[in-house]
Every structure is written in structure tokens, then in C-alpha cells.
């Protein structure tokens, strides 16, 4: 049973259709990647999920129930453009935002100090946000997003502006939250992070879902049947009609296997030629490559 189900969600603005029959499902306790170029409709989709906007048509199921504004308290949303009151003290701000999410004042206060301790910013509790460094206010923003123990956490570019240490800290926290029962939607342009963190992704372009599935399934779906062969000594002489060479450099050869042939055929050929193979790998396209070809391909149509 999926935690969040969007079914043919449509949102129109004055002249444009920002979200065009978007459907996807997010399984509970997974990290779900939402990808797409700027203006693809990611933010609008997120705003529909967070009940900031209502869909013109289509349906959203949250934890099995039709989405209502009451569910907003069970969600935590960190927008890409971070938002905090600059003049407010860190702890006051966090308590305020937690209370708006339905926490009691006392509960919020205790929770705020626990998180600040965890993130090593306890000494800054009484500072104004404008006095914090960018990384520190990022942490505050993250705390604000998760303080009320939301069931669904939506993070838009959570690592932008963070140094590797803090990036790791946040990454570990996201993983811990997932283990403790939260479902996470993660919107980003940074494909290597998606490959590393997400189980399932969708790719949105111009309001439409153009890819939807597991990360490795998608990579296999778009593979070009290319293999990398590292060798020592004599280079293999491969028949161009069956195994055309894409490129060769430094004792490494990238070879494409044509249709009707398989990896076994290629290996047999290498063995026959007595090539000293050091490594043999299938080359899967990166999400980045898929992203670019898909987005460009669609826009050329």
C-alpha cells in the first residue's frame, strides 16, 4: 500500500497547464526522488501535495485517505528557497513554526533543544537568524521541517549550500527519519545524490511525467548495451559488424554489442583471441545522462 498516491493530477494557471495528469505513487518509508528541469512543474506538484494549492482535477491519497488540509500537520516541507524570519531568535522561530504545525508550546520547546543539541547549534539558540552562517541557518531550516515528526517529509534541494560534513549530517538524519517511519520526497537537480539516496524516481518535464520507476530499472531501461573491457598486452581485434568499438584509450576499450548478440558472445570472442582481460563491466547510463537525453529529446519533438 503506497503512502502517497497521485492520480492524474491537473493544475492550470491563467494560460499554462503547470501539472498535466501527473500520476505516481510513493511507498511508505522510502526516499522518493522528484526530478525535472526548472519550470517543469515540480514546485506546483509539491504545493498540491502540501495543500498550499488545490488540484483542478485528479486525486491525491495521503496514507489511504483523500488529501485534506488537516494532513498539512503530518507533513514537513523545506522549500528550495529557504524561508526564515531573519529578525527572530532561532529558538522562538522554531517553536513558532512547530506550533503552527500543531505542536504544543512545551512539546515544541523540548523538541527544539533536542534537535539543536543533535546538530551542534545549541549555543546559537538565542541568536537571530540573520547572525547565522548559511550552513547553520540551513540546519535550522531542516529542524523546522522535521520538528513536528511529520509522516511525509518533502525536501527541495536539501543539500544546496552545505559543506560535505553538514551534507553528510543531513543525509544521515534523512536516513534515520526514514528508518523511524517517515516517507521522504526529495526534489533535486543533483543526479548523483538521487542515485545514491533514492529508491524510486519520477522525471517531470513540462508538467508531464516522462519517467517513473526504480533507479536501477530506469538505468537498465536506457542502457546502450555498451561494455568496458580493460586488458593488458595485445588489444583485441573485434568484428565491427557485431561488436563496434565506441572508443579506446589507455588499455580500455568501450564496445557496443549489436542486437541479436549478447555479452556471452563478446566474452567468447575475447577468450578466442586470448586477450588478457583485467576487468569487464556493463556500462549503465547515469541518471544525469538519461535526464539530459530525455529532457532534450522531448523538447526537440
Contacting positions for another protein (CB under 8 A): 14, 47, 50-52, 69, 72-73, 75, 77-79, 81-88, 96-97, 99-101, 105, 144
The grid coordinates listed for 94 are 522554531
Shortest Cβ 7–another protein spacing (Å) = 22
Shortest Cβ 75–another protein spacing (Å) = 7
Residue 69 vs 276, nearer CB to another protein: 69
Shortest Cβ 150–another protein spacing (Å) = 10
CA nearest to 58, candidates 67, 46, 69: 67
Q: What are phi and psi of 196, to 5 degrees?
A: -75, -40
Shortest Cβ 238–another protein spacing (Å) = 53
Shortest Cβ 100–another protein spacing (Å) = 4
Residue 99 vs 212, nearer CB to another protein: 99
Distance CA 31, CA 199 (A): 6
Q: Cell match 526530478: residue?
A: 35
Q: What are phi and psi of 21, to 5 degrees?
A: 50, 50
Residue 48 vs 215, nearer CB to another protein: 48
Residue 127 vs 219, nearer CB to another protein: 127
Distance CA 156, CA 83 (A): 12
Q: Which residues contact 156 (CB under 8 A, 6 or more apart)?
A: 42, 43, 46, 77, 78, 79, 80, 187, 188
Q: Cell match 583471441: residue?
A: 273
Residue 72 vs 203, nearer CB to another protein: 72
Amino acid at each position: 500500500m503506497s503512502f502517497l498516491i497521485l492520480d492524474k493530477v491537473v493544475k492550470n494557471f491563467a494560460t499554462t497547464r503547470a501539472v498535466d495528469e501527473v500520476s505516481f505513487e510513493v511507498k511508505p518509508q522510502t526516499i522518493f526522488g522528484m526530478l525535472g528541469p526548472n519550470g517543469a512543474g515540480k514546485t506546483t506538484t509539491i504545493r498540491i501535495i502540501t495543500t498550499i494549492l488545490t488540484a483542478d482535477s485528479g486525486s491525491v491519497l495521503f496514507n489511504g485517505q483523500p488529501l485534506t488540509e488537516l494532513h498539512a500537520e503530518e507533513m514537513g516541507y523545506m522549500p528550495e528557497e529557504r524561508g526564515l524570519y531573519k529578525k527572530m531568535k532561532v529558538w522562538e522561530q522554531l517553536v513558532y513554526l512547530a506550533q503552527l504545525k500543531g505542536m504544543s508550546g512545551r512539546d515544541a520547546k523540548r523538541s527544539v533543544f533536542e534537535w539543536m543539541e543533535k546538530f551542534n547549534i545549541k549555543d546559537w539558540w538565542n541568536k537571530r537568524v540573520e547572525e547565522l552562517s548559511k550552513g547553520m541557518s540551513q540546519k535550522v531550516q531542516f529542524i523546522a521541517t522535521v520538528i513536528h515528526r511529520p509522516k511525509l517529509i518533502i525536501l527541495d534541494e536539501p543539500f544546496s549550500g552545505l559543506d560535505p560534513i553538514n551534507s553528510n549530517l543531513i543525509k544521515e538524519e534523512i536516513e534515520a527519519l526514514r528508518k523511524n517511519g517517515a516517507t521522504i520526497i526529495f526534489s533535486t537537480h543533483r543526479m548523483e545524490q538521487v542515485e545514491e539516496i533514492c529508491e524510486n524516481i519520477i522525471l517531470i518535464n513540462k508538467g508531464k511525467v516522462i519517467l517513473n520507476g526504480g533507479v536501477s530499472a530506469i538505468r537498465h531501461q536506457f542502457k546502450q548495451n555498451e561494455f568496458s573491457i580493460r586488458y593488458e598486452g595485445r588489444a583485441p581485434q573485434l568484428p565491427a559488424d557485431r561488436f563496434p568499438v565506441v572508443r579506446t584509450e589507455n588499455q580500455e576499450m568501450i564496445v557496443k554489442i549489436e542486437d541479436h548478440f549478447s555479452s556471452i558472445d563478446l566474452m567468447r570472442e575475447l577468450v578466442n583471441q586470448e586477450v588478457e582481460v583485467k576487468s569487464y563491466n556493463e556500462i549503465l547510463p547515469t541518471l544525469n545522462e538519461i535526464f539530459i537525453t530525455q529532457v532534450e529529446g522531448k523538447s526537440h519533438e
